[in-house]
Structure 1
Amino acid sequence: MQTQPDRSQFALQPSPRANNGLRFLLAAADLQAQAFKAMMRCQIETHSFLKHRCDQNVRLADDLVAGNEFNDAFDVLSTFFQNATSDYAIEAGRVASIGSKLASETGRRVQKGAETTVEDLAASTVG
């Protein structure tokens, strides 16, 4: 019967650099996932806005056909452009809000990752 020699206590412990490399890869993957989610949120918001504006365009055509006089058409167009301008301004605010939330969330994640790395480095030097 053949016996295996005892392994040293250092044989199965990964090096601190390997841990840091793994942490870096996981942090990079997390940031990529975060960016993907943010991009999808922006796409959803954009498509929702464009659907609303297309519905308003169809309604404009219906309102123009329904009007019998020039003054009616002028009122319909001025109301349409006023609403469109307001909608675009509101949408710009929403997109800016999404960008702000993304930046804030990314900052929190990076800070948390940095704190974890510092704590792990401190623990590895002590222990």
Structure 2
Amino acid sequence: MAALFLCFVLYLVVITLTGSALNLKMHEPVDFLFRLDVQRMTGKGSEIVSAFLSRVQGAPIGFNVYNLFTVDTSTIMMICGTILTYTLVIVQFQPVQLAASSSTDRPPAVTSAYTEHQAYVNTTDI
């Protein structure tokens, strides 16, 4: 069972890193293309540069997951944030072990309520 979980985590890491690398490589030439002087290019060259820039700046580029989101560099932070959130929730809602066997081990509020109850029981038994 642990091996299957490890394979799943490894698969998730490989897909995420590959999608991030693809996204970064696709956006690498954008800065260079913005510095080009489009006025000095031919009509066909400026059309190609404009089409490429509009494609890169439009819809996200990378692995698309059921049209919900695209795997890019922000996906790594999204996965880490989700894991951290669920870990905190699990730690927060763990049951607390109470080892109070005598009245000295009880919290003060419980001890005072217990002694008040005992005093009431003792006075009504008469």
- Shorter-chain TM band: 0.3 to 0.5
Q: Whose Rg is larger?
A: 2
TM-score, normalised to structure 2, is 0.38
Name the structure where helix makes up a greater proportion of residues.
Answer: 1
Q: Which has the higher strand share?
A: 2
Select the structure with the greater relative contact order (CA < 8 A; seq sep ≥ 6).
1
